């Protein structure tokens, strides 16, 4: 099924030396009250006019990036037996989610120059332009470490399957704690560490149903949302008390 879709995409694409023809298992993700994560299958093909070059290996890099957000990263030190904030770095823009998958180890598929140009690896995707702390890199690494533990930052080296230098695919796991917005999906073709083609599309991630209604209510009518929350808390407390009294009898 996927192979047939890829062949149809290839026929519809304009001619180029080597270019990406992309497909997605879906172009939107719905966040509901019971949403516990999802997988996105990214697949595609490489369209060529000429024979496959034999002097270098073709590599594929796939990135999925959530909306950028400013983040404050703080360092805690122990002073007089108490842990307190001592330094902070204002990160201008950090992706709320970022996954990068490759066909081979990153060092083999991408040069530092191309990474600097296209902001492909996770550290390059985070921007701290106005940071005044000398050791900014340690704050960036701390942010990456924290979000990697939450499955929000993923480096998936060797997780892109490439068949006959033509068909590629990978699965990106989306965690439950996603931020709404457009998720940019980029596919890079590289040879000898240099990017030879880029394809970009977007995946829409949005709350739906009851989750959307509650979100809109909380942001558009905070007073009513507060009254409703208070009412639910009172009813829940009264119900729990009634059940407890019934068991005591």
Shared domain check, 213 and 135: no
pLDDT, tens digit (0-9, with 9 covering 90-100), for 109-166: 999 999 999 999 999 998 765 555 556 778 888 889 999 999 999 999 999 999 988 8
Shared domain check, 198 and 218: no
Using the predicted structure, report yes or no on whether residue 202 has a pLDDT greater than 80.
Answer: yes
- Domains in the chain: how many in total? 2
Shared domain check, 179 and 99: yes
- CA-based end-to-end distance of the chain: 63
Shared domain check, 216 and 200: no
Shared domain check, 193 and 149: yes
Task: State which residues form the domain around 97.
Answer: 2-67+93-207
207-211 long-range Cβ contacts below 8 angstroms, 24+ apart:
207/30, 207/31, 207/32, 207/180, 208/30, 208/31, 208/32, 209/30, 209/32, 209/33, 210/32, 210/33, 211/31, 211/32, 211/33, 211/35
> What percent of the residues of the chain are helix, what percent strand, and what percent coil, each to the nearest 5?
30, 40, 25
In degrees rounded to 5, what are phi and psi of residue 180?
-65, 155
Give me the CATH number covering residue 128. 2.60.40.3880
Which position has the higher pLDDT, 231 or 188? 188
Give the mean pLDDT of 45-55.
81
Q: Would 221 be classed as within a structural domain?
A: yes
Shared domain check, 233 and 115: no
Q: Would 87 be classed as within a structural domain?
A: no
């Amino acid at each position: 099924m996927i192979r047939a879709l890829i062949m149809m995409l290839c026929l519809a694409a304009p001619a180029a030396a080597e270019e990406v023809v992309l497909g997605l298992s879906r172009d939107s993700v719905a966040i509901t009250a019971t949403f516990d994560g999802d997988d996105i299958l990214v697949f595609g093909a490489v369209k060529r006019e000429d024979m496959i070059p034999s002097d270098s290996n073709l590599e594929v890099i796939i990135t999925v990036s959530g909306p950028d957000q400013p983040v404050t990263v703080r360092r805690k030190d122990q002073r007089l037996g108490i842990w307190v904030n001592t330094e902070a770095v204002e990160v201008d823009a950090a992706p709320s989610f970022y996954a990068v998958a490759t066909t081979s180890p990153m060092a083999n598929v991408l040069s530092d120059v191309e990474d600097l140009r296209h902001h492909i690896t996770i550290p390059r995707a985070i921007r701290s332009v106005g940071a005044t702390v000398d050791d900014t890199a340690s704050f960036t690494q701390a942010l990456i470490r924290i979000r990697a533990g939450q499955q929000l930052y993923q480096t998936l080296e060797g997780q892109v399957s490439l068949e006959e230098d033509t068909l590629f695919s990978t699965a990106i796991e989306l965690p439950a704690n996603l931020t709404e917005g457009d998720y940019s999906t980029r596919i890079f073709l590289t040879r000898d560490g240099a990017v030879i083609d880029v394809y970009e599309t977007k995946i829409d991630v949005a709350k739906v149903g009851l989750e959307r209604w509650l979100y809109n209510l909380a942001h558009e009518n905070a007073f009513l949302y507060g009254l409703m929350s208070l009412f639910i808390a009172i009813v829940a407390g009264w119900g729990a008390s009634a059940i407890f009294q019934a068991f005591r009898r």
